Every structure is written in C-alpha cells, then in structure tokens.
Amino acid sequence: MNKRGITDKPFVSVYYLVLGAFVLVWFLGGTKAIAQNTYFKQEYHGRDIALLIDTSQIADGEVKINYHAQEGFNYQIGDGKVAVKEKIPYVAYYAEDANDTINLEKEGDVIVVRKNE
C-alpha cells in the first residue's frame, strides 16, 4: 500500500496491544501459581508418583503402595508420564513397564500402585 494518506500503523498497534495483553496475562498467571506455591507442589507430587512407579517396578515380589493425592490437582498417569494439573500442568516421566505388571487405580483421594508377579 504505497498510496498517499494510507498507513498500516493502526493495524500494527492493535496487534502489539493484543500480543502485550496475552503476555501480561500469561506472566501474571505463572507468577500467581509460583506465589501460591502450587507449581512446586505439582512438581513434587508428579516426581514422587513417578518415583513410586519406578521403585515398584524394580522391587521383588508383590508391592502395594497407597499415595494420598493432593486435593485440587488432577492426575493423569499413563504412557510413561505423570501429569499433575491445576492451572499450569507439570509432567514427570517414568520408565514404562515392559512386563505390564503395574496396576494403577484411584480410590477416592488415594492413588494405589500395585505390582503383581
């Protein structure tokens, strides 16, 4: 657009305003999660459950572990990963069971990890 009196600046300004608003909302959401200490709790629970699954795979014999889940978090366990979600998801990984001897169940607010031989 090389015509006199026509400019692109209003469109570019609106684009930058929308982009700036998006970055501000994202930054404030992340800061709120860190300030409320929820992200660190998610990280702790995700790593802890992944470690329990890895440990139960290594252990000899039958194993049953009851893990009390944190209220307010959504847990998705499977395909070699533990996803703990509230607002910002945290994902921890574990070694997948080649023999398919690990059973995961949720009973109320308790996650049960069982290994059957």
What secondary structure does DSSP assign to 54-108, as a single string? HHHHHSSS-EEEEEEPPTT-EEEEETTEEEEESSS-EEEE----SS--EEEEEET
pLDDT attached to residue 22: 93
Predicted structure pTM score: 0.65
Please give the C-alpha separations between residue 114 and each of 14, 27, 64, 105, in angstroms, as whole numbers: 55, 40, 5, 8
Q: Compute the distance between CA of residue 66 and CA of residue 82 in angstroms, rounded to an integer.
A: 16
The answer as to whether 86 is a domain residue is yes
pLDDT attached to residue 71: 81
51: domain CATH number is: 3.90.930
State which residues form the domain around 107.
Answer: 38-115
> Count of domains in the chain?
1
Ordered per-residue pLDDT tens for the chain, 117 residues: 566 666 667 777 888 999 999 999 888 877 777 777 777 888 888 999 899 888 888 888 888 889 888 888 888 888 888 888 887 788 998 888 777 678 888 887 888 888 876
Q: Compute the distance between CA of residue 86 and CA of residue 75 in angstroms, rounded to an integer.
A: 9
The answer as to whether 15 is a domain residue is no
pLDDT attached to residue 24: 92
The answer as to whether 44 is a domain residue is yes
